[in-house]
Structures are given as structure tokens and as C-alpha cells.
Amino acid sequence: MRLTVVGATGLVGRKMLEVLSERKISFDDVYLVASDASKGKILEVSGIRKEVIGVGDLLSKDVDVALFSAGSSVSKDLAPILAGKGTYVIDNSSAWRMNPEVPLVVPEINADIISQNTQIIANPNCSTIQMVMVLAPLHKRYKIKRLVVSTYQSVTGTGKKAVEQLESEIKGIDAVKVYPYQIFMNCLPHCDVFFDDGYTREELKLVNETKKILNDETIKVTATAVRVPVVGGHSESVNIEFERGFDLDDVRKVLSETPGVVLYDDPANNVYPMPIVSHEKDDVYVGRIRRDYTVENGLNLWVVADNLRKGAATNAVQILEYLIKNKIV
């Protein structure tokens, strides 16, 4: 297998290299691709040191699988070219997620929609991935009617420059601002761009991607996305209204038996999910499980995951593992 990672020098790209190494993905050759400014840098994957090449250099190579984390514009331009040459593209940007012909995949939930003819596969938004990991088994059992989600998202979701802004502000150093305000000791109810109706693109990703992954357009979803001065993971307050009644013990049992989900719920002993719990881990943590007494069949959950791992790199590599396991590549 000949593999490429496009956007290899970014936060998610570097995490992809880590996850590929950790999960011992076997390949015959690998090409690490980034912008021209990063050409010539040396990165390591699976103990192999490789020089970063540019997009133009990649086009002359034969590649079986491409992991993309280079932004929507690069994905829109480059993914169809590679797909046309027979490359399977696993794209981490938002470019293809809502394309009806492109599967939006969380492997534990819907990997079976991938076929031999699926040349482009979309990796969902980080906040969506961790939420649907918890929602999917509950939806199957109780049928979700309505969701209200508020996110508390790490600066790593914005990228390296956002992390640098936070680190500089902590030290009291002037820094280039990625956000319109300081992020240290602050919370910004502003993730991505605002639309005319007052919602942000990040909020609409949660709405639309959830319905597509769960394959149910009847679910009503509303979201508020907030950036917080945290490095290590995204947190979400999720309020669910089910169509069917539920027992809390059964909810806990369902979640405890869900692969990739860790039930972390003992508030009497101060056990509940936090970013420092999920940091550098691949599992999704769920806790603070309790009834919402204001509606019939209402449930509150608190969901936390490392947005660079399960929220991005790990999910993409798991898709690659599915392709390998099922002899698609």
C-alpha cells in the first residue's frame, strides 16, 4: 500500500502520523505533503523519516490511499484528481461531508456504507463524531426526537496559531490573534463564521452531520458552539428528548457496552468526563447522566473526547483500517 498524508505538518496531520505509528498500519511507501513553505521538513512515521513534499510533487506519484487534513479548498481541488486516478481519499475537511454521494463515516456506526466504489470518504466534524458515538446506540434503542447541544471546544480545533495565541496570552506576551478577542481567561461563543440567521458554521455542522450519520432527517437539532481556553479535548452538554421511555440503568448499560465509549459517571465521587481525562486517548467519555424532568423522555449527558484523536486523526485512520480489513485497498 502506498499512502500519503496531505497536510502532514498541521496539528491533525502530525496526529495522523502518530496514530498511524501507534496502530501499526503497514505500508510500502508514504508521502508526506504540505504547503510549499513546509517543503523539505523532516517528519517521522512508523520509525521512518521522510522529507515533506509539495502538492505538485504528489501528483506525479501513484497513491493507493490519501489522508487529507489540509483544509476545504485543497480537498475540493485535489481529492477529485486523486480519486480519478484510483486513490481512496479520506478527507478531514468539511468539503465533502454533505455531498449526498460521499459517505460521512464514523466506523463504529456506519462503516458498512463504504464500498469498493467509494473513492472519497468524509471524516465528520470533531464535535459531531464524539456526540454521535454516544447518540447512535441510544437512537437505535429509544429513537431521538430532539437534541439541544452546547459545545465547549478546545483551541486545538482551530489550529496551531490558536494554540500559540493561548500560550502567548498565558505568558503575557503579545501575539497574533486568531480569534477576535483574547481566549485566555475567556470563552468565545463564536466557532467558525456567522451566518445571517445568527448561527455559526460549526453549529450547522452539528445539526446537519448528525442527521446524515444517524440516517434520520426527522431528528430536530439545535446547537451553540463555544471556544474555551483548553488544550486537550472538546466537551459537550447534550440534552436529548426521546420518543420512547427509558430506564437510566438501561441507558448506562447501553453506553457501557458501546465500543469506543467509556462510561465515566460517578458524580458522588467526583468522577465525570473532562478534557484532561480524554487528552491523548481515543475513547469518547460520557457522564453526568440524568433525567431532564422538564420534558417527557428527556435525558442530559456530558460528552468529552480528544478532538485531535477520535475527533479527527484516529477516526480517519480507523476508516483506513476498515478499507484494509475489507480488502478494499
Cell numbers for 75, please give them. 480537498
In the chain the first and final C-alpha atoms are separated, in Å, by: 7
The whole-number pLDDT of residue 301 equals 98
Residue with cell 480488502: 327
Q: What is the mean pLDDT of residues 15-32?
A: 97
256 plus 187 within the same structural domain: yes
Residue 246 and residue 141 in one domain = yes
Nearest-angstrom CA–CA distance, 224 and 206: 9
- Sign of CA pseudo-dihedral 192, 260, 43, 171: positive
Binning pLDDT at 50, 70 and 90, where does residue 6 land? very high
Residue 261 and residue 150 share a domain = yes
Retrieve residue 211's grid coordinates. 442527521
Are residues 9 and 153 located together in one domain of the fold?
A: no
Task: Give the span between the Cα atoms of 69 and 90, in whole angstroms.
Answer: 9
CATH number of the domain within which 66 lies: 3.40.50.720
Question: Does 192 have pLDDT greater than 90?
Answer: yes
- Residue 175: its pLDDT value, please? 85
On whether both 110 and 161 belong to a single domain, the answer is no
The C-alpha R_g of the chain, in whole angstroms, comes to: 20
Number of domains in the chain: 2
Q: How remote is the C-alpha of 51 from its chain's centroid?
A: 27
**pLDDT value, residue 291:** 98
Q: Does 68 share its domain with 104? A: yes
Section 148-156 average pLDDT: 98
Give the pLDDT confidence score for residue 144 in this predicted structure.
Answer: 98
Residue 15 shares a structural domain with residue 150: no
Do 40 and 93 belong to one domain? Answer: yes
Q: For residue 283, give its domain range.
A: 127-307
187 and 68 both lie in a single domain: no
Region 129-150: what's the mean pLDDT?
Answer: 98
Give me 39's grid cell.
517543503
pLDDT tens by residue, 55-107: 999 999 999 999 999 999 999 999 999 999 999 999 999 999 999 999 999 99
126 is catalytic: yes
> What CATH number does the domain containing 187 carry?
3.30.360.10
Q: Say if residue 225 is in the same domain as residue 300.
A: yes
Catalytic residue, from 139, 191, 234, 279: name it. Answer: 234
The model's pLDDT over 283-324, given as tens digits with 9 standing for 90+, comes to: 999 999 999 999 999 999 999 999 999 999 999 999 999 999
271 and 181 in a common domain: yes
Q: For 174-190, what is the mean pLDDT? A: 95
Q: Residue 187's pLDDT is what?
A: 98
Query: Do 88 and 20 share a structural domain?
Result: yes
Residue tagged 496539528 (cell numbers): 11
Return the number of other C-beta atoms located less than 10 Å from residue 243's C-beta.
Answer: 13
The yes-or-no answer on residue 191 being catalytic is: no
Mean pLDDT of 231-250: 97
Q: What is the pLDDT of residue 81?
A: 97
Helix (H, G, I), strand (E, B) or coil at 208: helix
Answer whether residue 169 shows pLDDT above 90. Answer: yes
* Over residues 129-154, mean pLDDT: 98
